[in-house]
Each structure stands twice: as structure tokens, then as C-alpha cells.
Amino acid sequence: MDEIILLISIIMIKTQITISNTLGLHARPSMKLAELCSKFNAEIYIKKDGKKINAKNMMDILMLASGYRSQIEILVDGDDEKIAVKEIKSLFSDRFGEES
């Protein structure tokens, strides 16, 4: 009798981000981030100071109180994780369209 062994590989993309917009993740950028993350099937989380929250929830993002120069970690796991990370990093590097 043949035996089939299924190995499950858990690969998650983790990236560190420093908040560079001077007002931090206040309501408008938190809303933009949650809306962007909600476009993806991947599970997306943000970690800061030992807390891990769902990045698809604006209120959870606000509760992290991520101010200017705060360090956060983005964790993304799913079939569209690579494009999700790319777009999230772009949103942060563009400072949410708030500053030039």
C-alpha cells in the first residue's frame, strides 16, 4: 500500500516599517491602510510593542497608537501576499499621500 505524506510549508512575509509621516497612523492613514489590506485574500497583521492586530480593521490600527518614527512589523500570509506587501510598502513610502 502506498503512503502519501503531505508536508505543509508555512511561509509568511514579515517586513519592518518605520512610520515616516509626522502625524503617525492617525484616522485617515489608518483608514487607507485598512481599506488597502481588505482588498487582499491574505491574512495581514501588524505587530507593535508585543501587540498583534488585524490590519484590515481601522480601529485596531488606531489602538496601536503608532506615532512618528514608530517601528512596526507587517506580517502577511496568503496567496496574494507578495503583491499585498508591495502595495503596503508603497502606501507607507508615499506617506499616505499626506506629505511631500
Report all structural domains of the chain as residue ranges with CATH numbers, in order of start: 13-97 (3.30.1340.10)
Determine the distance from the C-alpha atom of residue 97 to the mean position of all C-alpha atoms in its chain, rounded to a whole number: 17
Q: What is the pLDDT of residues 7-57, one digit of tens each?
A: 555 678 999 999 998 999 999 999 999 999 999 999 999 999 999 999 999
Catalytic residue among 13, 17, 23, 26: 26
Rg (CA), the chain: 16
Q: Is 26 a catalytic residue?
A: yes
Which pLDDT score, from 0 to 100, does residue 10 have?
Answer: 66
Question: Does the structure show a pLDDT above 90 at 6?
Answer: no
Residues paired with residue 54 on neighbouring β-strands, in sequence order: 45
- Give residue-wise pLDDT tens across range 55-70: 999 999 999 999 999 9
Alpha carbon 55 to chain centroid, angstroms: 5
- For residue 8, the model assigns a pLDDT of 53
Phi/psi at 11 (5° precision):
-120, 125
Q: What pLDDT is attached to residue 98?
A: 84
pTM: 0.87
**Backbone conformation region of residue 42, classed left if phi is above 0, alpha if psi is from -120 to 50, else beta:** beta
